[in-house]
Amino acid sequence: MKLSDLGHRICILGPSNSGKSTLANAIGRKCDLQSIHLDQLYHLPDTQWRPRPTEEFVSLHDAAIAGERWVMDGNYTKLLPQRLARATGIILLDVSTTLSVMRYINRTVFQGQRYGGLQGGKDVLNWNMFHHITVVTPKSRQRYANLFEQWTLPKLQLSSAKAIKKQMEKWDLVLHSK
Task: For 80-100, give the DSSP string.
Answer: HHHHHHH-SEEEEE---HHHH
User: pLDDT at position 103, please?
Assistant: 82
- Give the contacts of 139 (CB within 8 A, at least 6 positions apart): none
| pLDDT score recorded for residue 28 | 96
> Is residue 51 packed enough to be buried (19+ CB in 10 Å), middle (13-18) or exposed (0-12)?
exposed
The CATH number of 3-170 is 3.40.50.300
Give pLDDT, residue 132: 85
Per-residue pLDDT of 35-73, as tens digits, reads: 999 999 998 888 877 899 999 999 999 999 999 999 999
Over the stretch 9-26, which tens digit does the pLDDT of each residue have?
999 999 888 889 999 999
Return the percentage of the chain with pLDDT > 90, whole number.
60
| Residue 97, Cβ density class (10 Å: 0-12 exposed, 13-18 middle, ≥19 buried) | middle
Q: Answer yes or no: are the C-beta atoms of 156 and 91 closer than 8 Å.
A: yes
Tell me what pLDDT residue 46 has: 80
141 pLDDT tier (thresholds 50, 70, 90): confident
Q: Pick the residue with more confidence: 30 or 115?
A: 30
Give the residue extent of every domain in the chain: 3-170
Q: Is the pLDDT of residue 120 over 60?
A: no
- Picking from 111, 116, 95, 119, the residue whose alpha carbon sits closest to that of residue 25 is 116
Residue 177: band (very low, low, confident or very high) from pLDDT cuts 50, 70, 90? low
Q: What pLDDT shows up at residue 129?
A: 79
- 120 phi and psi, to 5 degrees? 80, 0
Strand ranges across the sheet with 155-158: 34-37, 70-73, 9-13, 89-93, 155-158
Buried b vs exposed e over 121-142: b needs ≥16 C-beta within 10 Å? bebeeeeebeebbeeebeebee
How confident is the model over 93-117, as pLDDT tens digits? 999 889 888 888 887 777 666 566 5
CA dihedral sign of residues 78, 15, 41, 130: positive
